[in-house]
Structure 1
Amino acid sequence: MPTIPHLLLATTGLALATLASALPAQGSPPAQQEVARGKAVFARHCAACHGRGPGDDGSAHLPGTAALAARYQGSLPGALEERKDLDAETLLYFVRHGSGPMPMFRKTEVSDADIGSIAAYLAASAASVRK
């Protein structure tokens, strides 16, 4: 009988294989349709904490953006839309497991394909940021 860690590894491996099959080939830009879908999914599930702009309370950043900005102290942007290091595999890990105050999201809430679309949107968004 498989143990819990073995089941977790098998499940994560299957999710990554599914996600990889939904992504464009390495080096090819994501289709505009995928980027647009990712932007909509990001707006629905992520932007309230991780979007750009000020918070409703007048703070300079939204809570997730502020937390990441404090954590990275300028070595990486706090806003996910400005990050160039967030591939689908990394997003899948954090979305499925959560981190600190960030909750985990089930596949019924945010599918693997949704995460792939978010990755495509974030890559396109980061590419448009001038620094």
Structure 2
Amino acid sequence: MPSWDTGLLDCCAKPGGCGLCCRASFCPCAVLGDINGRMNGPGGFCGGCCIAGLLGNECCCPCFCMGFLAPQVAAKSGFTESGAKACCLTACPCTSLCYMCQVWRQTEIIRTGAPRQLEMK
């Protein structure tokens, strides 16, 4: 069954590597902006970045944005992800940045047309 090409805790996985992890740690709204822009979300990069930056966690904005965007990314990659799961992973302080990085890496794989990883059997 297809799934994300990188694991949730693959902090330094390509594409993105350590730089993506640092970027998500210090400016998560920019990572959310990239995801929003790549999925043609409202307002593109600026819409995702500004909405997350202005409203922030007080309004659960990143949770709702990822609940909307992550299932779209998954669908483009040939698998399903529930909006509720995406919201929960984004709301949890232990997984929020890792999940945004995982979804960002998947959008980069879609954007560049990189081959998907194959499961060894």
Query: Into which bin does the TM-score normalised by the smaller protein fall?
Result: 0.3 to 0.5
Q: Which structure has the greater CA radius of gyration?
A: 1
Q: TM-score, normalised by structure 1?
A: 0.31
Greater helix content = 2
